[in-house]
Structure 1
Amino acid sequence: MAVEVGSEAPDFTLNDYNKQPVALSSFRGERNVLLVFYPFAFSGICTGELCQVRDELAAYEDENVQVLGVSVDTPFSLKAWAEQQGYPFPLLSDFWPHGAVAAEYGVFNETAGLANRGTFLIDTAGVVRYAEVNAPGEPRDQEAWKKAVAALKS
């Protein structure tokens, strides 16, 4: 079961594509976090979704939102993908233990060994304000994320 709106977001520390640890709790009190789980680097839908985030990143930054992408890929493949696509936000590797953070958020697909498309907006207090889970082949509607980000102000 996915983490629900109104609950405290499970904390985690994962390595980014430079093998540097990034802790969710490091943003607490400072920035909201848009946590975007996706199945695999280099896949078509994932590339399209994260390119849209990249192209609209200023809108999130203007609202004090840190975007974090998470997949079960290795840091090496994430780095190659980030460089190829020019992603300026951290891509975190949930490779080992395989999918542990995705499982904590209720988005790990054990049958396929990947993260489903889970999106969680976490406020500066660490509370989940928006949650959405889509199947691997089902693209997300990012307009819903933007509405959730706008609602953080009220």
Structure 2
Amino acid sequence: MTAPIPVGALAPDFVLRDQNNQEVGLAALRAQGPVLLVFFPLAFTGTCEGELGYLRDNLPQFEAAGLSIVGLSVGPPPTHKVWSSAQGFLFPILADFWPHGGVAAEYGVFDAERGIPNRGTFVVDADGTVVFSAMVGPGEARTEETWAAALAALTPDS
């Protein structure tokens, strides 16, 4: 298993298409404040739905902290459109489709053997620095503690 980029690293910039086939770039998101990047293996899977559903259900908590949430996976925008509409995900779901898993690889969370990203979680501050970095491997799910730690990374005295 690869290692995610560490806290203190400069976050690789990217521009990918969201579920509405619109370009979304990290630099533009950072201009509005810190960003929570949530890499997930595949749409239409129970664990991924549960994790992104947690974010959907707790969106006000993340927005209150000034975070923009972005999901990233290797599926194409039309697949993400159907899935995000069915699940009520109001945040961008980005297609790291081509080059396949290229952004996930830059963040150190791409599983080349399986062709999908591991569950990488990053908080990137407005300056582009990674202030939170975590990853769990195949078959593991992020816990509420992961989300709490990501939020706490924005508080200087945490």
Q: Same fold per TM (> 0.5)?
A: yes
* Match 1:11 to one of 4, 10, 13: 13
Gaps of 5+ in 2: none
- Deviation track 1:66-118 (CA, whole Å, cap 9, x = no partner) reads 00000000101100000100001000000111000001001111111101100
Q: Is the 8 A contact 2:39 2:120 kept in 1?
A: yes
Q: Percent identity?
A: 48
**Stretch moving more, 91-100 or 25-34:** 25-34
TM-score normalized by the length of structure 1: 0.96
Is 1:23 matched with 2:21?
no
Give the partner amino acid of 1:110: A
Q: Is the 8 A contact 2:42 2:74 kept in 1?
A: yes
* Match 1:77 to one of 73, 79, 90: 79
Aligned-residue Cα RMSD (Å) equals: 1.1
Which residue is 1:51 aligned to?
A: 53
Kindly report structure 1 stretches of 4+ aligned residues shifted beyond 2 Å.
27-30, 142-148
Q: Distance in 2 between matches of 1:114 and 1:144?
A: 21
- The CA deviation at 1:152 is 1.4
Q: How many residues end up aligned between the 2 structures?
A: 154
- The CA deviation at 1:124 is 1.1
Gaps of 5+ in 1: none
